[in-house]
Amino acid sequence: MGETMKAAFSKIFGRKEYSVPEDDMDISSPTVVTHNVHVTYNAHTQSFEGIPDAWKNFIENAISKAEMERNPEAAIAAAKFWKYSIRRKETDVKFIPTPQAIQEESEAIEHVFESGKDSCEIIDPAPLTGESVPHQGSTADVRLPDVTPSVIPKAVDQVDKAEVKVTQSPVQVRRKQGLKMSDDEIMEKFRQLCSPKNPESVYERDKELGAGASGTVFIAQDKITNCKVAVKDIDLDKQPKKELILTEIKVMKEIKHENLVNFLDVFLLNNHLWVVMELLDGGPLTDVVTETVMKESQIAAVCHHTLQGINYLHENGVIHRDIKSDNILLGKDGSVKVTDFGFCANITGDEKRMTMVGTPYWMAPEVVNRKHYGKKIDIWSLGIMAIEMIEGEPPYLKETPLRALYLIAANGKPDVPSWKKLTPEFQDFLNCCLEVDVERRASAKELLAHRFLTKAVSTTTLKPLIEAAQKILDKRISNVS
C-alpha cells in the first residue's frame, strides 16, 4: 500500500494506540484442535502419503504404482469419485434431484474437499532425482477421510445446517425459499399430487418383480380393463429425502414419449406411494445382451429408439445420467423404452452440472474427472451400451469400480475387442458417441441422422431373443398375464 493510501486510511479511521502489559503473558493451550491431514501423491515413491493405511492399501491394490506414476491425475480423480459416489450407502434412494438439491450436493462435496481438512498435491520428484517425469500435474485435491474404506461419512447438508440455526434462535424469522419443508408440508404436497382413490379398489396386486431400498415393484391388474401395469410401492416413512420423490413424480407426470416408460398414475395409501407405470413384457435389454448375440441391424434399431427417448429428454431440459442396458426395457411387440429417471437432473439449455452420479462402467470421462458436464454424458453412455450389445458386457466390468474409474479417466475411449468385425458405419457411430472432447461428441439430434441407424430393422425381430433370454433366466413376465 502506498504512503498516500496509508495516510488516507489514517485520516478516515484514525489510529488507536494499544498498551502492552509489562507482565509476561501466558498463552493457553488451544481449546479447539482440528487435525488437518495433508494428503499427497509422491511420484518419487509412487505412493499416496498422509492417508490411513486402509485407504492407501485399497487404492494401491486397485491402481498399480506404474499406473499412478503414468497418470496420477486419473488416480486422484478415481479416488475422489469412488469416495463420494460409488461407496454410498445401500439405503440411499436414487431420485431426480431439484436444482437446489444438486447445488447442495456440489457445495457439500466442495466444502469437505476444500475446507482444508484434506488436501492432495502431486509432488515433483525432479528436484530429488534430476529426472523429468511424464504426466506431471498441478496441485489437485483428493478427499480421503481418516477412516477405513467401509465407512464413508455423509456429505454436509448445507440446508439442514441453516435450518438448525433458525430453529435454535428465539427470534421468529421468515422462511427463506429453498429451506426444507416440514413433513406435514411434504405430505400435503403428496396429497395434492396423488389420485384421491384407494389404489386397492382400482388394481389387483399380482407378482412382485423386485425390491430395493426405495421400495418394491410389483405387477398389478386394472380391475376394470384387465390391463397389466407395473407399480412401485414406496414406503415414505423410510425415505429421508421425500422432497426428491416429489420432484420425481412432478417430472414424470410432465414427460411422455413412445420411447420412455411412461407414468400412469400415483396414489397415497397409509404413507405408501403407489407409482403406476407402463409394464413391458420383454424385461430389460440386459437379459438379451448377456444371454444372446445381437445382429448389427438389431443394435442399430435399439440405438435408434433409445436415441429418440434421449433426444426427447434433452429437448425438455432433462439429462438421464444413467443410460445402460438395465434401464432399457423391451416389449415383445417391439417396444424399446428408457426407464429409471432416478439419476435425472432438470437443466435449462446448456447449463452444466458438477455432481457425480451414475453407474461407473457407463460413465463419461468428464464426470469422473469432475469437469462441468451436460447432456452429452448420455451420448457417451449410449456408446458404452452399444459395446454391451456387441460384447455382452461394458468395458472394465470385471474390474473393481475404483479401478474402472481410473481406466475411464486415464484411457478415455475404451478398446472394443470386436472392432475389426464391425462395419465402417458402426465404427463411426461409436467414435461419435465415445469422443472424449465433449465439443466434438455428437448430440442426440445429430446421431439420429447418422447413417448407421439406416441399417436398423424392425424391433419385433427382438422377440425371439427376448424369449430365449427369458427361458434361460426363467424370467417370463408374460406368465402372469
**Is 87 a residue of the active site?**
no
The answer for residues whose C-beta is within 8 angstroms of residue 76's C-beta and 6 or more apart is: 41, 120, 122, 140, 142
Burial (CB count <10 Å: 0-12, 13-18, 19+), residue 431 = middle
Please give the Cα distance from 372 to 176 (Å, whole number). Answer: 28
Q: What is the C-alpha to C-alpha distance for residues 123 and 139, in angstroms, rounded to an integer?
A: 8
- Which strands, in side-by-side order, build the sheet including 328-330? 283-284, 328-330, 336-338
The answer to whether 97 and 354 have CB atoms below 8 angstroms apart is: no
Give the C-alpha separation, 386 to 407, whole Å: 19
Closest to 181 (Cα-Cα) out of 163, 194, 195: 163
Residue 294: helix, strand or coil by DSSP? coil
Task: Name the amino acid, one letter, at 179.
Answer: L
| Side-chain-facing half-sphere of 412: CA atoms under 13 Å | 9
Interatomic CA distance for residues 109 and 115, integer angstroms: 10
The C-alpha cell 426395457 sits at 329
Q: How far is residue 213 CA from its own chain's centroid?
A: 16
Sheet of strand 37-42, all strands in order from the earlier edge strand to the far edge: 47-49, 37-42, 118-123
Bridge partner residues of 119 (DSSP): 38
Strand order in the sheet with 228-235: 203-212, 215-222, 228-235, 272-278, 263-269
Per-residue cell: 38: 495433508
Catalytic residue among 87, 174, 321, 440: 321
Residue for grid cell 445382429: 295
Nearest-angstrom CA–CA distance, 322 and 460? 25
Active site residues: 321
